[in-house]
Amino acid sequence: MTNVMTNIKTVLLGGLIAVGFAAQGEPAQAAETRTLTVAGGCFWCVEADFEKVKGVSEVVSGYTGGTTDNPTYKQVTGGNTGHYEAVQIMYDPEVVTRPQLLHMFLRSVDPLDAGGQFCDRGDSYRTAIFADGAAAEDAQQAVAAAEKDLGQDIVTPILPEQTFYEAEDYHQNYYKSDETRFTRFGIRTYAEAYKLYRDACQRDARVRQIWGEAAPFAGQ
Catalytic residues: 42
- Greatest CA separation found in the chain? 91
Closest CA to 51 of 85, 84, 86, 89: 89
Helix intervals (H) in the chain: 2-25, 43-50, 73-78, 98-106, 133-150, 190-201, 203-211
89 and 38 in contact (C-beta within 8 Å)? yes
d(CA 73, CA 42): 12
Q: Which amino acid is at 12?
A: L
Q: Do the bridges between strand 116-117 and strand 120-121 make them parallel or antiparallel, or are there none, so unpaired?
A: antiparallel
Count of beta carbons in the 10 Å neighbourhood of residue 199: 11
162 and 150 in contact (C-beta within 8 Å)? no
88 and 98 in contact (C-beta within 8 Å)? no
d(CA 77, CA 71): 10
